[in-house]
């Protein structure tokens, strides 16, 4: 999935939409000047599977087949998600981040799993 030159979009997906990308193998996001996050806040939380993790509400968002994630030239991009979602990338083996000057971390509270990730190019 290629997303570029979006001028007024603050986030790409809600959690329920993100969970529907079970076959997504690659995500490229670039030159979107207003994007702050990839996964924003859920508008109707009744569609999410909620479980208790360490006495806090945590929703899991799974990208089972996503292998490549590339983010570039995103002036306002902060992180993948600022919400309390556990992001699971079991197949991710390539992450490229370039020219994201506001970004300081990958996700809120570092609830991220990418066991196959070997190569990272991080050029904030």
Residue 121 is predicted with a pLDDT of 55
Nearest of 90, 75, 13, 72 to residue 47 by alpha carbon: 13
pLDDT for the residue 44: 55
Predicted confidence at residue 48, as pLDDT, reads 47
Q: What is the pLDDT of residue 57?
A: 53
Instruction: List the chain pLDDT tens, one digit each, 124 residues.
Output: 999 998 899 999 998 899 999 999 999 999 999 999 999 986 654 444 444 333 355 688 999 999 999 999 999 999 999 888 899 999 999 999 999 999 988 887 677 888 888 755 555 5
What is the domain range of residue 38? 2-123
How many domains is the chain built from? 1
What are the DSSP E strand ranges found in the chain? 2-4, 11-13, 26-30, 37-39, 50-53, 56-62, 68-72, 85-88, 94-98, 112-113, 119-123
């Amino acid at each position: 999935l290629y997303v570029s030159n979006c001028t007024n979009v603050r986030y790409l997906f809600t959690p329920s939409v993100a969970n529907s990308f079970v076959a997504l193998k690659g995500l490229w996001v670039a030159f979107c000047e207003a994007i702050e996050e990839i996964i924003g806040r859920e508008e109707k939380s009744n569609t999410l599977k909620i479980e208790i993790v360490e006495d806090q509400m945590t929703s899991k968002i799974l990208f089972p087949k996503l292998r490549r994630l590339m983010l570039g030239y995103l002036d306002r991009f902060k992180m993948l998600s600022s919400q309390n979602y556990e992001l699971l990338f079991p197949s991710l083996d390539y992450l490229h981040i370039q020219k994201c000057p506001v970004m300081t971390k990958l996700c809120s509270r570092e609830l991220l799993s990418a066991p196959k990730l070997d190569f990272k190019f991080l050029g904030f």
